[in-house]
């Protein structure tokens, strides 16, 4: 490992450790992972079977909105072989370690469709800690270029991101008072239904710039990393409905 790689790793670890918001966690982790081809990060607690409110388990969401919406509508969370494996092991594993020939059709479908959305390769880091539900940190991309020695750095950073997310989570109780304005809720509600900013502007009779401003303000109020994370957090807080 060269000195530059080590310094980048230490800088990333420091940024995550000092993070006070979900956006800062994602920024610290993503800046390092992007160098190896990772484009998405997802952290969620695990359960044997999810229901329609599975978004309440999500801690950090850096998936593309189109994939998150499709994954949710297909209820892939109840068939995702990576989630199932993470419940049974504390050892990190790559998506390629999941043997396709042993999977049932819905599990294979979930993995095949992820590839269609640019998530072809990934690494999962299960976290089993005392007094908290089991959790998975999943990082993925189209093509990952990662030397074996670097995987251990990813494992360390992923667990650090989990701890940082748990540190800020108490401020996000579902029973908390609403944080969004009525218009911000309307914008996120239509966004969760798959409407573009231009389509939302037409539906609500406002400009696209105003829609974008409402999305930015909602992100600030919810302390989220992007529009997908904002939708998930608004769902988790029951400020919008899916």
Decide if 23 is inside a domain.
yes
Residue with tokens 């996120």: 188
Residue 85, class by beta-carbon neighbours within 10 Å (0-12 exposed, 13-18 middle, 19+ buried)?
middle
Domain carrying residue 223: 182-236
User: 48 and 116: one domain?
Assistant: yes
Q: Say what the pLDDT of residue 175 is.
A: 45
pLDDT band at 110 (very low <50, low <70, confident <90, very high): very high
CB 122 within 8 A of CB 94: yes
List Cα–Cα distances, 173 to 9, 71, 169, 223, in angstroms.
32, 24, 8, 13
Q: Say what the pLDDT of residue 229 is.
A: 87
Bridge-based pairing of strands 58-61 and 93-94 is: unpaired
Decide if 192 is inside a domain.
yes
Answer yes or no: is pLDDT of 56 > 90. Answer: no
Classify residue 95 by its DSSP letter. G
Q: Say what the pLDDT of residue 52 is.
A: 66
Cα separation, 225 vs 5, in Å, equals 26
Cα separation, 239 vs 242, in Å, equals 10
User: 197 and 79: one domain?
Assistant: no
User: 36 and 92: one domain?
Assistant: yes
Decide if 135 is inside a domain.
yes
Decide if 242 is inside a domain.
no
Q: Say what the pLDDT of residue 172 is.
A: 45
User: 112 and 197: one domain?
Assistant: no
pTM: 0.74
Decide if 177 is inside a domain.
no
More confident residue, 5 or 203: 203
How many domains in the chain? Answer: 2
Average pLDDT over residues 146-159: 87
User: 190 and 116: one domain?
Assistant: no
More confident residue, 37 or 171: 37
Q: Read off the CATH number of the domain in which 189 is found.
A: 1.10.10.10
Decide if 241 is inside a domain.
no
User: 148 and 31: one domain?
Assistant: yes
Average pLDDT over residues 40-64: 84
User: 39 and 144: one domain?
Assistant: yes
User: 156 and 186: one domain?
Assistant: no
Cα separation, 237 vs 177, in Å, equals 9
% of the chain at pLDDT higher than 90? 49
User: 225 and 150: one domain?
Assistant: no
Reduce the DSSP state of residue 188 to 3 states and report it. Answer: helix
List Cα–Cα distances, 179 to 54, 115, 132, 222, 223, in angstroms.
21, 35, 26, 7, 10
Answer yes or no: is pLDDT of 22 > 60. Answer: yes
Decide if 50 is inside a domain.
yes
Lowest-pLDDT choice from 19-33, 122-136, 173-187: 173-187
Average pLDDT over residues 117-141: 91
Q: Say what the pLDDT of residue 1 is.
A: 60
Q: Say what the pLDDT of residue 242 is.
A: 65
């Amino acid at each position: 490992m060269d000195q530059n790689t080590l310094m980048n790793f230490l800088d990333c670890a420091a940024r995550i450790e000092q993070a006070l918001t979900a956006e800062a966690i994602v920024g610290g982790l993503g800046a390092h992972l992007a160098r190896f081809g990772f484009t998405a990060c997802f952290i969620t607690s695990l359960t044997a079977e999810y229901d329609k409110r599975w978004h309440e388990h999500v801690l950090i969401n850096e998936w593309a909105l189109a994939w998150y919406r499709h994954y949710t509508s297909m209820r892939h969370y109840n068939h995702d072989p990576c989630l199932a494996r993470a419940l049974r092991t504390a050892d990190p594993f790559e998506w390629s370690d999941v043997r396709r020939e042993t999977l049932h059709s819905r599990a294979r479908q979930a993995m095949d469709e992820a590839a269609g959305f640019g998530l072809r390769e990934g690494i999962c880091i299960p976290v089993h800690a005392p007094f908290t539900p089991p959790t998975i940190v999943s990082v993925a991309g189209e093509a990952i270029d990662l030397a074996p020695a670097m995987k251990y750095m990813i494992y360390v950073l992923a667990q650090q991101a989990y701890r940082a997310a748990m540190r800020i989570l108490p401020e996000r109780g579902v029973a908390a008072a609403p944080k969004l304005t009525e218009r911000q809720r309307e914008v996120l509600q239509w966004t969760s239904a798959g409407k573009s900013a231009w389509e939302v502007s037409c539906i609500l009779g406002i400009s696209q710039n105003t829609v974008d401003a409402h999305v930015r303000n909602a992100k600030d109020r919810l302390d989220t990393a992007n529009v997908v994370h904002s939708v998930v957090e608004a769902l988790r807080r029951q400020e919008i409905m899916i």
